[in-house]
Structure formats: C-alpha cells, structure tokens
Amino acid sequence: VPMNEEVVARYATLVPGCREAVAQLRAAGLKIGSTTGYVRSIMERVLPVAAAQGYAPDCLVCADDLPEGRPGPLGMYRCFIDLQVYPPAAVVKVDDTAPGIAEGVAAGCLTVGVALSGNAVGLTPEALAATSAAERARLRAGATALLTAAGADHVIDTVADLPALLERLDAEA
C-alpha cells in the first residue's frame, strides 16, 4: 500500500473520452458511483488528480470501507444506499476487471466490461494505438473472453463507448 500511495497519482490520467461520457450520462440524469479494489488511502491520492481532469464520482466505496470486498456485492450495496438507487437491475456496473464484473453480477446489476482501455489489456492509450488492427483484435478478444467469463452482459472497448451502449439498450427495451 505505501508504494502504491507514492506512485498512483502519476498513473491517474483519465481514459480518453471518460470525462465526456460521464457528462453525457449526468445530462441524462444518471448518478455515478464507484467501487474499487484500492484502499481509501490510495484513492485519496487519485481523487484530486481525477477531479482536476473533470471527473468526480457521486460516491466512492473502497476495498477497506467494508468487511468484504470484491467479488462480493457489499460495495455495490453501499453505492445503492449512498446514491439512493434501486432496484439493482436498474443499475449498470461498468468495470475492467473480472472481480469487478463479478461484484456487479453478485449485486444483481446489468454488467458492462471494458476491454481495451482497462486492466485486461493493460496498455496505455498510446501503446494501444501503436498496435496493429490484428493485434488489437486479438487483445479485444482475450479481454472480452475474460470479462464475459466473469459475467459481463456486454463488453465495450472503453468507457467512452458507454453512452452509446446505454442509448441502444434503452431503444431496445
């Protein structure tokens, strides 16, 4: 933890399109909650950096806020309470890790995996852009398989793709 606390802020650059996606979601009346596998002392370093880039969740639940973390549902339940949202099926859990997707499944949420801009691929936007189309397709397929196996209902490339997915799902409903 102390090592992470010292370096995490250096790696807290928002994913391209994140700020705009969150603005679209908020304009549609949605609330933004966050659960994380990081402990609060680490997130205290990340939050100001994210806020300076235009992102601040409406609530944050850290791994050490509750007696049980991911893949259990308690972090999501805390978000439900803090955000005053229910039923769980009306909540969309977006995550780039298998434990995070499993957390959403356990809580009864619609789950959306993030393939290319997340932990499953682990590349910076610049490194990802430097890959060939064939390599990106291979990386996407591997990440999609991992997130789908964890229970993801849908998989998108980056959080920038979330508003379009939600609009499509609303239109199909």
Q: For 108-151, write each residue's pLDDT tens digit.
A: 999 999 999 989 899 999 999 999 999 999 999 999 999 999 99
Query: Is 15:125 a contact under the CB 8 Å cutoff?
Result: yes
Report the distance separating Cα 122 and Cα 167, nearest Å: 28
pLDDT per position as a tens digit, 56-86:
999 999 999 999 999 999 999 999 999 999 9
The per-residue pLDDT for 53 is 96
**Antiparallel, parallel or unpaired: β 33-35 and 59-61:** parallel
- Tell whether the model's pLDDT for residue 41 goes beyond 90: yes
Report the distance separating Cα 132 and Cα 22, nearest Å: 29
The per-residue pLDDT for 118 is 87
Query: Residue 55: which of 10, 5, 100, 18 has the closest Cα?
Result: 18
Query: Residue 116: which of 162, 71, 159, 53 has the closest Cα?
Result: 159
Please tell me the pTM assigned to this model.
0.95
To the nearest 10°, the Cα dihedral for 165, 124, 62, 153?
A: 30
* Radius of gyration, alpha carbons of the chain: 16
- Tell whether the model's pLDDT for residue 173 goes beyond 90: no
What is the average pLDDT score of the chain?
Answer: 96
Interval 19-29 mean pLDDT: 97
% of the chain residues with pLDDT over 70: 100
- Tell whether the model's pLDDT for residue 34 goes beyond 90: yes
Helix (H, G, I), strand (E, B) or coil at 61: strand
Say how many residues make up the chain.
Answer: 173
